[in-house]
Structure 1
Amino acid sequence: MDTGTHIVMGVALGSMATLDPVVSHDPVLAHAVLIGALAGSQIPDIDTVLKLKNNAKYIRNHRGITHSIPALFLWPLLLTGVLIYFYPDVNVFHLWLWISVAVWLHVFVDLFNAYGTQALRPFTKKWVAFGVINTFDPIIFGLHLAGIGLLFLGAHPGYTFLAIYAILVGYYVVRFRQQVAIKQAVQQQIPNVEQIITVPTFRFREWHLAITAKDYFYVARAKNGAIHLLDTFERCPVPAHPAIEVAKRDENLAAFLSFSPVYRWEVNEYNDHYEVRFTDLRYRSKGYYPFVAVVQLDRDLKIISSYTGWIFSEGKLRKKLELIPS
């Protein structure tokens, strides 16, 4: 989920902690738990700082080791250790418990969007992404804001957010049912389907789809239960082209391939250079596919420039690459 949603989830957990008798009878512990819940709801995304280095490091590592099984236990221990320095007399177990819930909830909810996490590390680096909730879901965020508003009106913090989370459980069930219906509709409309990746949008009844069939990739939109095909690409295996083989060793393309499950490739040859481009088919915006990896090589197959990340126009891509115009 986005940073704002994780923050309001931290507030929600700090509020629900008041249902814990040990917390509710100790104002100092309640304060420490609220701080811990806010910190725990954010700390797995500390790897966002990698963006300051470059996109390749960020793409390869974001929601990786920081969202892994060991991290589920290390983050709570770290935060508890920091907080007991400032709150030495509080109940350490209950502080650790609520911080743990905050960390676990952060990783858990991240599993439900199309980006996903590598939550099963160190056993596998496979991305787990259920694709039923948008990274920013206005209904989830709105319900949390409503809950915070009710607190200012004097509502009981614990029971208020307990009720909201019961509603959210039902909301997630509805989203899964929508996804099942969409996949069934795709199977009826397109033959030989092997994989369907669903990407929810801000709109409750609208989803982006990346579909892998035996011979083709299809990009589609599901709207009000109907499937609308937008693009069709022939499914061609990545060839053993010399330029591609060298480009795969570039950190930008390597990061893209470690993350993207469905993409198309191109190799363009010009007078003085080659250009290798891989395009993720999950993210289509106004007819453009913004998540790409591009590598340019000279005629001797030496890498000149490369880029991976989100880009929304060809002109901006050229500026990012600082390369020979194609």
Structure 2
Amino acid sequence: MGIALGGLATLDPTVSSHLDTKEAVMIGAIAGSLIPDIDTILKLRNNAKYIRNHRGITHSIPAVLLWPLLITFILHLLFRDAHLFDLWMWTFIGVIIHVFVDIFNAYGTQAFRPFSQKWVALGIINTFDPYFFTIHIIGIIIWAIGGSPGPTFITVFGVIIVYYFIRIAMNLNLRHKIKKQLPNVEKIIISPTMRFNRWHLAIIAKNHFYVGNATNGEIKVHDVFERMEEPSSALMEAAKQDENLSAFLSFSPVYRFETAEYSDHIEVRFIDLRYRSKGYYPFVAVVQLDFDLNIICSYTGWIFSEKKLRKKLDYLPN
């Protein structure tokens, strides 16, 4: 996207006629389209830090305003003759487009911080959308073999806009069908997949959670769970003090929970219902406590089998 934006910037007369500005804008557009995801480095610390903060403050309103200024300042040190306003403008567009695109996938972002901590996730485009990616690659190839970048990327972005409207219409149509098919629906969470006509569904109704998918507009429910309120108990309060579970709860909008008692500990498990895969729910938070409700160990993240989860928990220090 950054490369595509840099190509589109050649339509700006100041950019196209000034070499330093042109080079700086290309770098700025790429950097702007990448820098909000600098928080990915938190993955190196632990999953809890990553889940709680990824696409949070780095995608917020203050960050969107500050990132272009920071990048422009740095690039101005390298390209002294570059026109500052054009450099800032195209870098700013790169940052804005990044955050805008993130709003439309199922993971979402806290784009309205500090005014709202709510996650905005419209579920229109997959986190990695092969069609979106391919359209950009085609544009870059055309440019590389001698095509004019301005008209090429106007066409690319025009196709992308049409694609977005098609996906929005599909999403809205699916929501309408779900409300007709299932009773007392309160909230619908739609997660697009890499397949154009397939969507994952997590539906909150008055008394139940429904998990399923939709293929070619046909809705299929795989699992139905009774909707239960979390008990106000000392066990739950103790478990929620854990960093991993707290991070999970700050991110997940629809989940179920389980408790189990073993010979030497109690286990509390929270299961995100959005990501069913081959009958398994891989995104979880698990807390193990002793009988005095002291936390022994915990984990949150993606685990695709019970065996791997057990290994992960056994590996963690007591």
Counterpart of 1:163 (choices 151, 155, 158) is: 155
1:68 corresponds to which residue? 60
Residue 46 of structure 2 is aligned to residue 54 of structure 1? yes
Alignment of 1:18 with 2:10, yes or no, is yes
Aligned equivalent of 1:192: 184
Distance 1:169 1:323 in 2: 47
1:1-326 map, 5 Å: 9-322=1-314
Pairwise CA distance, 1:153: 2.2
Describe the superposition over 1:135-165 as per-residue Cα deviations: whole angstroms up to 9, x where unpaired: 0000000000100111122111011011111
Cα distance, 1:323 vs structure 2: 6.5
Task: Look up the equivalent residue of 1:156 and give its one-letter code.
Answer: S
Instruction: Give distance in 1, aligned partners of 2:296 and 2:307.
Output: 18
Runs of 4+ in 1 over 3 A off after TM superposition: none
Offset from partner CA, 1:233-257 (integer Å, 9 cap, x none): 0000011132211000100000000
Q: What SS does the corresponding residue of 1:124 show, helix, strand or coil?
A: coil
Say if 1:297 and 1:304, in contact at 8 Å, map to a contact too.
Answer: yes
Q: Is the 8 A contact 1:73 1:100 kept in 2?
A: yes
- Work out whether residues 221 and 228 of structure 1, in 8 Å CA contact, stay in contact via their aligned partners in 2: yes
**Unaligned residue ranges in structure 1 (runs of 5+):** 1-8
Distance 2:311 2:80 in 1: 53
Alignment check: 8 A CA contact 1:114 1:131 kept: yes
Secondary structure of 1:42's aligned partner: helix
Aligned equivalents of 1:46, 1:117: Cα separation in 2: 14
Instruction: Supply the distance in 1 between the matched residues of 2:145 and 2:74 (Cα, whole angstroms).
Output: 33
CA contact (8 A) 1:305 1:323 kept: no
Structure 1-normalised TM-score?
0.96
Q: Which runs of 5+ in 2 are unaligned?
A: none
- The alignment's C-alpha RMSD in Å is 1.0
Residue in structure 2 matched with residue 4 of structure 1 by the alignment: none
Give the counterpart letter for 2:154 in structure 1: L
1:3: which partner in 2? none
Aligned length: 316
Letter aligned with residue 162 of structure 1: I
Matched letter for residue 95 of structure 1 = L
User: Which position in structure 2 is the counterpart of 1:5?
Assistant: none
Give identity over the alignment, percent: 61
